A and B are shown apart, each in its own frame.
Chain A
Amino acid sequence: AQSVTQLDSQVPVFEEAPVELRCNYSSSVSVYLFWYVQYPNQGLQLLLKYLSGSTLVESINGFEAEFNKSQTSFHLRKPSVHISDTAEYFCAVSVRNTGFQKLVFGTGTRLLVSP
């Protein structure tokens, strides 16, 4: 079965600094990968996803993630964060297989951006 590891439970960073949120997965078959963002007391919103094609995917608000098959990683990066990026970020994986598949979520990383 697949699993997702987000090693950092919390990442503090100053405004306008770069940030990387780490995500590693384990799976014996090909995967689809996702990053979701959750603002306080709200549901999760899709930030970006990798299904196929280019291994570098971008979101509309400046985040990007790169699928690295050899390292089984899908780290999320932003070159310059804003206060408004403060939120919890979840990495998720599903597998390319027949039949119904579920998303498996990591435990989340809380990004804290301070001025």
Chain B
Amino acid sequence: NAGVTQTPKFRILKIGQSMTLQCTQDMNHNYMYWYRQDPGMGLKLIYYSVGAGITDKGEVPNGYNVSRSTTEDFPLRLELAAPSQTSVYFCASSYPKETQYFGPGTRLLVL
């Protein structure tokens, strides 16, 4: 039981490039979430999903896209990377109204 896994661990992007952050969970959780964490700040919700085929915006969705074709996977797509997207990205999953389980994070630097 690996829990929530994220790849890559670290990535450097140039301004304008695109990339996909991968997230997989093996706990059969319906709900999945993407957060970003900036230094000295709490976590901000980017997008979330309550089940396969269903996604919705969180607090800071601009510049990102998601899809949820399976229960296990919830990739986050960055189009046209900008320096403001330099951050640490966390994926999490849970059953409804239960504890959220977090992945180890992806550190992204946009130069």
Partners in one complex: no
